[in-house]
Amino acid sequence: MVQSRARIQIAKPDILRFFDELPQKILKTSDLARILEEQRSFWRLAQNTTTQRFISFLAENGKLERLDFPFPYRREHRYVWGKVPLLEVLLTLKKDSYFTHYTAVRMHGLTEQVPKIIYLNHEQRPHHPTHNLEQSRIDIAYRNKPRVSQNIIPFGNVRICLVNGMYTNQLGVISEKVNYDEESATVRITNIERTLIDIAVRPIYAGGISEVLKAYELAKDRVSVNRLAATLEKLGYVYPFHQTIGFYLERAGYKASSLELLSRFPMQFDFYLTHQMHEREYNKRWRLFIPKGF
């Protein structure tokens, strides 16, 4: 044991330099185990230097920090070397994940609020809905509470919510450098058009319908309604969310030609702006029930 400690202390400058020069500063336990085995001979480390001893050495002598994410459905942890933006760490928790809903709204500058929850989406496997849409199904669904993810944890001064969204093959997902909570990070995020669709579909993940409307207002000079309509068509929702989106566009003051793009979608059913409306009004143009006075 003494010899093991002596060898790792002798190699300390080389080990710390190696990690300082690593291009990837976010690491799993398996990454650290692989590095130890690949470099063991070069650093002349004893065979009884285990991965855990190696990790303890790096934490005590270097800049290694462990971050724990105790999600109810599966606990995760990551190691970081030095200061790494939290957003970039979160993107490593689930393969091909990306930021959506209120988090994307904030990243695009489409809210005047400072949301204290981060929404990270990882898509389900492809599947095709088999039921036909009926008015009675819509009525029952929107009479009840919306389904929300319970895979959520507190982390520092925010909460992190993992959303298991429908399969879209990453439609409308882009890579972008953003400033968030005084940190600069390169993230995967839904573009403005996809973001506006997502928050209209799931306003509960966007601060509610008033915040959704505000996002549509703030996006007016930046969004391509043509691209939004094309994206919506590709997403292929069973429910007629085009009626919801058309209403938001009209209420936010978009031009008539933009509204016409949404009017071209079929309107065969009455629909709802949000769930569990106790008092409501009916918008004939969009065949949409909305909260009274909204």
State pLDDT tens for residues 247-264. Answer: 999 999 999 999 999 999
Mean pLDDT of 190-215: 98
Residue 153 is predicted with a pLDDT of 98
Residue 128 has pLDDT above 80, yes or no: no
Question: In this model, does residue 5 exceed pLDDT 70?
Answer: no
One-letter amino acid for residue 225 of the chain: V
Distance of CA 292 to the CA centre of its chain: 31
pLDDT at 136: 94
- The whole-number average pLDDT for the span 188-206 is 98
Do residues 49 and 3 make contact, with C-beta atoms less than 8 angstroms apart?
no
Domain boundaries, the chain: 2-65, 86-291
> Each residue of 84-108: pLDDT tens digit?
999 999 999 999 999 999 999 999 9
Contacts of 73 (CB under 8 A, 6+ apart): 151, 162
* Residue 172 near residue 191, CB atoms below 8 Å: yes
What is the average per-residue pLDDT within 37-48? 93
Decide the pairing of beta strands 64-70 and 26-27. Answer: unpaired
Widest CA span of the chain, in angstroms? Answer: 81
As a whole-number percent, the residues of the chain with pLDDT over 90 amount to: 91
How far out from the chain centre does Cα 186 lie? 13
Q: d(Cα 252, Cα 213) in Å, to the nearest integer?
A: 7
pLDDT at 3 over 60: no
pLDDT digits (tens, 9 = 90+) for 204-238: 999 999 999 999 999 999 999 999 999 999 999 99
pLDDT digit string, tens, across residues 264-286: 999 999 999 999 999 999 999 99
Q: Where are the beta strands (DSSP E) in the chain?
A: 26-27, 64-70, 75-81, 98-99, 117-121, 152-155, 158-163, 173-180, 183-190, 271-272, 280-283, 288-291
- Looking only at the bridges linking them, the beta strands covering 271-272 and 152-155 are unpaired
pLDDT at 47: 87
Q: Which of 228, 261, 223 is nearest to 109 (CA)?
A: 223
The pTM score is 0.92
Dihedral of the CA atoms 34, 36, 42, 44 (nearest 10)? Answer: -150
pLDDT at residue 131 is higher than 80: no
pLDDT band at 121 (very low <50, low <70, confident <90, very high): very high
What is the percent of the chain where pLDDT is above 70? 97
Q: Is residue 93 within 8 Å of residue 120, measured between CB atoms?
A: yes
Q: Is 236 left (phi over 0), alpha (psi -120 to 50) or beta?
A: left
Residue 129 has pLDDT above 80, yes or no: no
